[in-house]
Amino acid sequence: MNIKEILERNPIIPAIKNENGLKEAAECGSEIVFVIMSNLINIQVIVEKLKEADKIVFVHVDMIEGLSSSNYGVDYLMAHTKADGIITTKHNIVAFARKNNICVIQRFFILDSFSFRNTITHIRENKPDAVEILPGVMPKIIKRICNLVNIPVITGGLIDEKEDIINALNSGAEGISTTDMTLWDF
């Protein structure tokens, strides 16, 4: 799977966190969906419904209530769902996913210059398939990250206006994830 090519076709990524989002994401024009909140009971059904709608599905493994964000949790998710890949903030999970040929997006929160430097170091060390930078409303920081790494950069968090999408894309981001359903078909 080539995330860069997928993002070129679909730069706006629906991020779902509830049943309302599931229905809308299945019907929207994007071919990729992030499942950012779920639980051990419903994750299989959520992924199944999205796959029936021909979506590429990435599950935020750290946010599955009732499932440990560990190697075993990733194994369980991949064995019991048809997810195409995972999202995680955890470095050890990225390493495990890479070792097992699981497509992985590593999520980073940029809070200050220290977290910015650590993010760049971890991206270079972990080599995820793509990164997601939060919050996504930092064009200057997004541009700096895009200039320092050679993998697709996705932004997310606090994206709630068309202007946020335009600014992020103009800063070099290749994708924008948002829970705001009104932006999914922008």
Distance of alpha carbon 1 from alpha carbon 88, whole angstroms: 18
> What share of the chain in percent tops pLDDT 70?
100
User: Which residues on neighbouring strands pair with residue 87, listed in sequence order?
Assistant: 60, 105
Give residue-wise pLDDT tens across range 59-92. Answer: 999 999 999 989 999 999 999 999 999 999 999 9
Which residue, chain included where needed, has tokens 């070099």? 172
Mean of pLDDT values over 136-161: 97
Cα–Cα nearest to 186, from 158, 155, 163? 163
Q: What domains, with CATH codes, occur in the chain?
A: 3-181 (3.20.20.70)
Give residue-wise pLDDT tens across range 101-138. Answer: 999 999 999 999 999 999 999 999 999 999 999 999 99
The confidence band for 19, taking pLDDT boundaries of 50, 70 and 90, is confident
Question: First vs last Cα of the chain: how many Å apart?
Answer: 24
